[in-house]
Chains A and B, each alone.
Chain A
């Protein structure tokens, strides 16, 4: 950054004598003030913790079947034991352990799906916004076709065609979700290209590549992360939906969607088999949405002003 600043003597004016508050300090202050954002961050941290330490936290093997203890109710119900705090499923597998391990599947799909989508979206959006003209029309034409389709339907169909595997699910979500990021990246590119400091950098002869790396990309991070948070939430949600239809990771992998699918036929007799994975999906989605709402407020100067 410092290399790009013009070597002109900068005389401090009266206005700049009041030291501006640091950006990171502002962000932290707004997080403390925003109860929703704080709750989202805490929940999300817990989920990451559960995913990383699933082996240490889980009281049982998530895959081991034990028919002698099948369909045990949660601990607080009659006949429930603390041996299996959330009960067991039809094959005697511990539901708590399966949910803890399921966090891994959900967060993996959400994280890597978003990474792929951001990668494609950023590349295509930057090219479209920078090149303009025919390149821009073609990229945005394809993007608009994809955005106009019934998204979920295509995800279901493609998942059915490609077959059940973690990699397939990640690729499907990563690729089908990228048009949203193309649109965001292009919009930001167009906005930033016209900004005074980019014009200034351009006028003193800073090469285009360096302008993009030092002035445009860093300023895109905020909006991109905001959208990424919402999209990660949506992917986790839809992955569970695919699992429910039997189209996500293979059936032996403990995932929340697979748990819902397996528990569905025991809904009326052993409702806890379906209840807890559903709550897990809901809490994850809630956490990411709260986090996204807060990030949006932080990144939107108009809203930030009204908050202070």
Chain B
């Protein structure tokens, strides 16, 4: 276990460094970050002054060292447009995004686990078909399009749910469902195939042959083992939700980080974009580490295997 922890920590430090390198060089992809961030009509003097102010005229190595030092101290830069520290802006928007992602994940897991379990337990049944259809639709339906269609049906035509904003508890339902659809599809698939596979294992036959009732076998042996792979994709799924929230929050005018990215990108506020990319990556990388550790704690095969 200690060896595993040590290896995982070293690996995470490398990953974090990789993220910093990537985010730093991203805005330098086109060569001149000053030209990228200012409008095309900016005068040469203004560009030069901006370059001076942002430190773009210094050697790249110096800029990168400075970037690392600041990031280590929690300084993620400032928004060009609002002149506020980017980190503070992110923290203000974070609760809304966490709420949306949390409800989306709840809906996804709440549908995926029972449906995948029943579908996998009775291959060929109507539940199995349903599980496969949900798995397929989750992968195939474009969420940004479904969001528009749902607004049209449930907000404009039927008037059941609010079409935008975050003013009442019902506001979260539509965006969370749309955002959770893709993870739901993936989790149903994972769950169903895990149950199908575990059903045929030797230890299940042993459990039956020692006289356990079917529901006990499912509860104690199948469900527990089938849920494990779901935990391992949790970090990846959260990263997906962050990406998907760019569309969903924009469409539903949800005041979270996703909408802030879309606005920052449209307004060429790249220091803010950079800060959000850095922050989100750190969160996702951190979650990946946590899920790996949780996985190692639950599953002894991993703990002793590597």
Of the candidates A145, A240, A278, the one whose C-beta lies within 8 Å of that of B18 is A145
Q: A78 contacts the other chain (Cβ, under 8 Å)?
A: no
Using Cβ atoms and an 8 Å threshold, which residues of chain A touch B140? 233, 282, 285-286, 289
Question: How many residues of A are in contact with the other chain, CB < 8 A?
Answer: 43
B273 touches A157 (CB 8 A): yes
B14 touches A150 (CB 8 A): no
B142 touches A149 (CB 8 A): no
Give the distance in Å from the alpha carbon of A274 to the alpha carbon of B139 in the complex: 20
Given A157-B273, A160-B273, A274-B148: A285 in contact with B139 (beta carbons within 8 A): yes
Given A162-B30, A241-B144, A267-B148: A153 in contact with B243 (beta carbons within 8 A): yes
Return the chain A residue nearest B189 by Cβ. Answer: A293
Q: B15 contacts the other chain (Cβ, under 8 Å)?
A: yes
A153 touches B261 (CB 8 A): yes
B281 touches A162 (CB 8 A): no
Give the interface segment out of B77-85, B106-114, B149-157. B149-157
Using Cβ atoms and an 8 Å threshold, which residues of chain B touch A141? 11, 14, 18
Using Cβ atoms and an 8 Å threshold, which residues of chain B touch A264? 148
Decide if the interface of chain B is mainly helix, strand, loop or mixed: helix
A285 touches B15 (CB 8 A): no
Central interface residue in A141, A148, A245, by most chain B CB within 10 Å:
A148
Q: B26 contacts the other chain (Cβ, under 8 Å)?
A: yes
Interface extent on B, as a size class? 35 or more
B201 to chain A, nearest CB (A): 13
A290 to chain B, nearest CB (A): 7
Given A149-B19, A156-B265, A241-B144: A161 in contact with B280 (beta carbons within 8 A): no
A157 touches B26 (CB 8 A): yes
Q: B72 contacts the other chain (Cβ, under 8 Å)?
A: no
Using Cβ atoms and an 8 Å threshold, which residues of chain B touch A11? none
Return the chain A residue nearest B257 by Cβ. Answer: A153
Give the distance in Å from the alpha carbon of A71 to the alpha carbon of B250 in the complex: 25
B285 touches A282 (CB 8 A): no
B30 touches A245 (CB 8 A): no
Using Cβ atoms and an 8 Å threshold, which residues of chain B touch A163? 30
Residues of chain A from 276 to 306 with CB closer than 8 A to chain B in the complex: 277-278, 281-282, 285-286, 289-290
A151 touches B30 (CB 8 A): no
Give the distance in Å from the alpha carbon of A94 to the alpha carbon of B269 in the complex: 36
Q: B178 contacts the other chain (Cβ, under 8 Å)?
A: no
Give the distance in Å from the alpha carbon of A297 to the alpha carbon of B215 in the complex: 30
Return the chain A residue nearest B157 by Cβ. Answer: A268
Give the distance in Å from the alpha carbon of A298 to the alpha carbon of B261 in the complex: 42
Q: B204 contacts the other chain (Cβ, under 8 Å)?
A: no
Given A150-B281, A275-B149, A289-B136: A241 in contact with B247 (beta carbons within 8 A): yes
Using Cβ atoms and an 8 Å threshold, which residues of chain B touch A237? 142
Given A153-B242, A161-B36, A233-B139: A267 in contact with B273 (beta carbons within 8 A): no
A144 touches B11 (CB 8 A): yes
Of the candidates B15, B26, B142, B145, the one whose C-beta lies within 8 Å of that of A161 is B26
Central interface residue in B145, B151, B276, by most chain A CB within 10 Å:
B145
Q: B212 contacts the other chain (Cβ, under 8 Å)?
A: no
Q: B47 contacts the other chain (Cβ, under 8 Å)?
A: no
Q: B246 contacts the other chain (Cβ, under 8 Å)?
A: yes
4 additional A-B pairs beyond A158-B26, A278-B149, beta carbons within 8 Å, are A141-B11, A152-B242, A161-B36, A281-B145
On A, residues with C-beta under 8 Å from B are 141-142, 144-146, 148-158, 160-163, 233, 237, 240-241, 244-247, 260, 264, 267-268, 271, 274-275, 277-278, 281-282, 285-286, 289-290
Across the A-B interface, the 10 shortest Cβ-Cβ residue pairs: A152-B243, A278-B145, A145-B18, A150-B239, A285-B140, A286-B140, A160-B265, A150-B242, A153-B243, A281-B142
| 14 CB < 8 A contacts A-B | A141-B14, A145-B22, A146-B18, A149-B281, A150-B239, A150-B284, A153-B276, A157-B26, A157-B265, A161-B26, A240-B144, A245-B265, A282-B142, A285-B142
On B, residues with C-beta under 8 Å from A are 11, 14-15, 18-19, 22, 26-27, 29-30, 36, 136, 139-142, 144-146, 148-149, 151-152, 156, 235, 239-240, 242-244, 246-247, 250, 261-262, 265-266, 270, 273, 276-277, 280-281, 284-285, 288
